[in-house]
Amino acid sequence: MDQFHGRSLTNPRGGRRVRNRDKRKYECGGYFSAPKVTGRRVVEMKRTRGGNLKVKVKEIDYANVTLEGGRVAKAKILKVVSTQDNRNYARQGLVTKGALINTEVGDAIVVNRPAQDGVVNARIVKK
């Protein structure tokens, strides 16, 4: 089963809540796909509610970097410098929203959620 995002079985004081029904499929979420910086691009298609598709990135090599003046360049990701989520993610090379990445055109901050969107979009950092 995926992660359960419904109401907790305990109340804030630690007491037990009695369920009046079973878990529903729409209350279940997915796991973190952990997009890793490698030399290739690997994506996984996941069916979502309503029959839509979500593109989950497993491995990534390029990012769309917005430069000064609004130009966008496709740049190779060299490494993940730091992340706000978990300092071990940077060591492992995992890209998340808000991560500082080193690219061919300079340092950039990831502005989207690569695990949900299928691509890495970033903006250049002024020095």
DSSP letter assigned to residue 94: B
CB 42 within 8 A of CB 58: yes
Quote the CA–CA distance of 18 and 53 in Å, as a whole number: 35
Question: 105-122: per-residue pLDDT in tens?
Answer: 999 999 999 988 889 999
Burial of 51 (0-12, 13-18, 19+ CB in 10 A): exposed
Question: 6-35: per-residue pLDDT in tens?
Answer: 888 899 999 999 989 998 888 888 888 889
Asked whether the predicted pLDDT for residue 37 surpasses 80, the reply is yes
In the chain the domains, ranked by start, together with CATH numbers, are 33-124 (3.10.290.70)
Higher pLDDT residue, 60 or 126? 60
Question: 57-95: per-residue pLDDT in tens?
Answer: 999 999 999 999 999 999 999 999 999 989 999 999 999
Asked whether the predicted pLDDT for residue 127 surpasses 80, the reply is no
Q: What is the pLDDT of residue 49?
A: 84
